[in-house]
Amino acid sequence: MSNKKNNQVSRRQFLNYTLTGVGGFMGAALIAPMVGFAVDPLLKGEKSGDFVYVLDVDEITETPQKVSFQVDQTDGWYESKVEKNAFVFYDSNGDILALSPVCTHLGCTVDWATEKEDEFFCPCHDGRYNAEGENIAGTPPTEPLHEYTFKVEEGKLYLSPETHARGGA
């Protein structure tokens, strides 16, 4: 209407601000659900799986045995059974170890005693682990093979599908 005071917001500026504000709000309301939709995997978090029977405790030896077990996997709309592998054995302290065959370097699969006796070997980048699954210095892996959470009930060994890093090495 008038510009008596100099530091007042002019009509043009006011309209600009309101239009940008309202427009921005509408745009945000439009985009927000889509962004939420896209980042949904981050919101879901991890699901923990049930323990699965793998073998009897009296079958466990000092040398690592490769055992396979099936876990139920829900991948979005796709449900399936996935085969997992573990190396089960008694370590030098006589404790049960169930190691994941996933190399701690870049996720390839290691195998027992393929390249050398008494060692785990990963063919991707020649990663090596000793008989306890500890990484051998000078080879690519940066930490020991991860281990499965397990429980023993009535002489049977059960593994959870989750693995975790081993403390100390």
Q: Which helix (H) or strand (E) holds 23?
A: helix 11-38
Query: What Å distances lie between residue 10 and 1, 5, 19, 21, 107, CA to CA?
Result: 9, 10, 14, 16, 62
User: What's the one-letter identity of residue 153?
Assistant: E
CB of 157 to another protein, least distance (A): 34
Q: Does 137 bind another protein (CB under 8 A)?
A: no
Per CB under 8 A, which of residues 50..89 are in contact with another protein? 76-78
Q: Does 1 bind another protein (CB under 8 A)?
A: no
CB of 48 to another protein, least distance (A): 18
Per CB under 8 A, which of residues 95..134 are in contact with another protein? none
Residue 153, both tokens: 């009930």
Residue 20-39 contact track with another protein, rule CB under 8 A, x = bound:
----------xxxxx-xxxx
Q: Which is nearer to another protein, 4 or 44 (CB)?
A: 44
Strands (E), the chain: 52-56, 65-75, 78-90, 96-99, 111-112, 120-122, 127-129, 147-153, 156-164
Q: Name the site residues for another protein (rule: CB under 8 A).
A: 30-34, 36-40, 43, 76-78
